[in-house]
């Protein structure tokens, strides 16, 4: 049986993943309006991934006789000063999500909910990949700067990263 503590913790994570999806959607929208189509494509994809993470939690919670709650989302920010500050925010957000997942794992251990603990391992692995990806991109942005030529390179690089999974699937 699912404890109320675990149910609440899972719903808190649902809220975090939902908010992440909308934050990345707002970022993608801003990038597209700024003529950074590659960055927008990367962030639209990231928004979809966060929504998938949320749905996976919703389905798990409902599947173990819990009650998933879909949160209301309000966005504090709809524009950014530049791509570097936007990517720094993405990185900080990913670190916040990682911390939240780790806390959820700890609660699952405390509650001796091994089924949920096992389920969460995918999220632990996924967050490591997400942090590494965003840190790598941010490191490249810091290296090349924020000038117009740099923006062109960053835009092309993120477009390439957004399309990489599709290209790999086509090759398979």
pLDDT for residue 165:
57
pLDDT for residue 172:
41
Rounded-to-integer distance, Cα 140 and Cα 127, Å? 20
Longest dimension (CA), the chain: 57
CATH architecture for residues 4-171: Up-down Bundle (1.20)
Q: pLDDT tens digits for 33-77?
A: 999 999 999 999 999 999 999 999 999 999 999 999 999 999 989
Helix (H, G, I), strand (E, B) or coil at 111: coil
Q: pLDDT tens digits for 82-97?
A: 999 999 999 999 999 9
State yes or no: pLDDT of 167 exceeds 50: no
Tell the burial category of 104 from Cβ atoms under 10 Å away from its Cβ (0-12, 13-18, 19+).
buried
Q: Whole-structure pTM over 0.85, yes or no?
A: yes
DSSP state of 112: T
Domain limits, the chain: 4-171
């Amino acid at each position: 049986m699912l404890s109320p503590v675990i149910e609440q913790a899972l719903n808190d994570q649902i809220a975090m993943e939902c908010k992440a999806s909308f934050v990345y959607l707002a970022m993608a929208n801003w990038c597209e309006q700024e003529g950074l189509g590659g960055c927008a494509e990367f962030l639209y994809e990231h928004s979809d991934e966060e929504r998938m993470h949320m749905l996976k939690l919703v389905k798990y919670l409902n599947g173990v006789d819990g009650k998933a709650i879909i949160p209301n989302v309000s966005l504090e920010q709809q524009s950014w000063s530049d791509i570097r500050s936007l990517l720094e925010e993405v990185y900080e957000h990913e670190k916040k999500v990682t911390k939240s997942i780790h806390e959820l794992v700890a609660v699952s251990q405390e509650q001796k909910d091994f089924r949920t603990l096992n389920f969460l391992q995918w999220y632990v692995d996924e967050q490591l990949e997400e942090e590494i990806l965003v840190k790598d991109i941010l490191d490249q942005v810091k290296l090349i700067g924020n000038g117009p030529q740099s923006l062109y390179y960053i835009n092309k690089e993120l477009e390439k990263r957004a399309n990489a999974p599709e290209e790999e699937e086509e090759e398979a």
